[in-house]
Amino acid sequence: MSEQPDNPLAAHARECEDCRGSAAPIAQLSTLLDAGALALDAAGLSRRVLARVAPELQARAQAAFWRRLGRTFGAALVPLPLLVVADFWLLGWLYDLAAAWLPSALAAYLVLSYAASLLVLIGSVYAAIPLLLARPTSEPDSAPA
Amino acid sequence: MQTDEVLAARLADGDEPALRELLRRYERPLASFLYRQTGGRDVEDLYQETWLRVVRHAERFDAERRFSTWLFQIAVNLCRDWQRRPPPEPRPATDEPARAELERSDAALDAARLLARLPAAQREVVVLRYYHDLSEDEVATILDIPKGTVKSRLHQAIARLAAVVHGEKRAAS
């Protein structure tokens, strides 16, 4: 860092009249400040941080999941009454149509089968919401900042 | 690539991969900052406490700001609290780092000893400005002081360091 033109000490000395005038040994200071590598096991420190904050992160993740689930279910429930009304109307219409051509018992069987399928489909969609929300998020890109 | 700020937002939801990535990006700069501020004492405690605060207050982080600035602000505040604590055992009156850390080299002067001669306020500026190459504006934001104060502290630090170097030279000759 000491020899680089953008060394902050040198930059300051260039701008500062006092430092220029006092001939402060900027290069020497920079060399001294750069001397001696720090004996740091930063990765080890980080591992211990992760171990320490893991329970807290887990609690936060749980809380965030329930918040998201509540919001999503809330949003998903909004169109449900409309869907139910529309389905009832559709089933009634289908029954009328089928009963015009088939015995009424058979028409009822067909419509009820269709209604059961619709029920399973709607139930599956709502049941999938927590599963989709519980999916792990993608790993962040590991390229340097 | 996700920015630090996006990762910090994910951290608020307890996203561990986001924390891993932030740790990877900042473990070296933060640890070396703490080391230089404290002379190598209690670095692990301060490092853990810094990240613990980041995790606990992640939802308060303003994504309009830079994460690095916020992180160093937390670290600076913790270092200031640490400096106010009474020393665990009697030490020389000077604000010197642990002897074991200092006596690792035959050289009369090294970076740790030079930095130890500076008052904490000047040392913060030198470490952030010199070692982390932050702009004067960023240093001012982190330390919550005007830019002019950053300049004047840097000036005073240079003058003090120059005096130390001259003094050691004279003593050696």
Contact B112 A16 (CB under 8 A): no
DSSP class of residue B58? G
Judge contact between A102 and A110, C-beta under 8 A.
Answer: yes
| Cα B109 versus chain centre, distance | 20
As a residue count, chain A comes to 145
pLDDT value at residue B91: 53
- CATH number for position B67: 1.10.1740.10
Domain of residue A100: give its range.
Answer: 79-133
DSSP-derived secondary structure for B87-104? PSS---SS----HHHHTT
Question: For residue B112, which phi and psi values (nearest 5 degrees)?
Answer: -65, -40
pLDDT value at residue B134: 87
A142: closest CA of chain B, how far (Å): 7
Number of folded domains that form chain B: 1
Number of folded domains that form chain A: 1
- Per residue in B73-112, pLDDT (tens digit) is 999 999 999 988 876 665 554 555 544 444 454 444 577 7
Q: How confident is the model at residue A27 (pLDDT cuts 50, 70, 90)?
A: confident
Domain of residue B140: give its range.
Answer: 4-172
Asked if B2 has any chain A CB less than 8 Å from its own CB, the reply is yes
For the entire predicted model, the pTM comes to 0.72
pLDDT value at residue A99: 92
Provide, as residue numbers in chain A, all residues whose Cβ is less than 8 Å from the Cβ of B131.
1, 33
Tokens 């139930």 -> residue: A123
A104: closest CA of chain B, how far (Å): 56
Contact A36 B111 (CB under 8 A): yes
In a domain, A2, yes or no: no
- What percent of chain A is predicted at pLDDT more than 70? 84
- Per residue in B5-48, pLDDT (tens digit) is 999 999 988 899 999 999 999 998 999 899 888 888 888 999 99
In a domain, A47, yes or no: no
Taking the C-alpha atoms of residue B61 and residue B173, their distance in angstroms, rounded to an integer, is 54
Average pLDDT over residues A7-36: 73
In a domain, A61, yes or no: no
As a residue count, chain B comes to 173
Residues 16-75 of A with CB under 8 A from B: 16, 18-19, 22, 24-26, 28-30, 32-36, 38-40, 42-43, 45-46, 48-50, 52-54, 56-64
Average pLDDT, chain B: 83
- Per residue in B121-153, pLDDT (tens digit) is 999 998 898 888 888 899 999 999 999 999 899
Question: For residue A26, which phi and psi values (nearest 5 degrees)?
Answer: -60, -45
Taking the C-alpha atoms of residue A69 and residue A123, their distance in angstroms, rounded to an integer, is 16
In a domain, A8, yes or no: no
Asked if B91 has any chain A CB less than 8 Å from its own CB, the reply is no
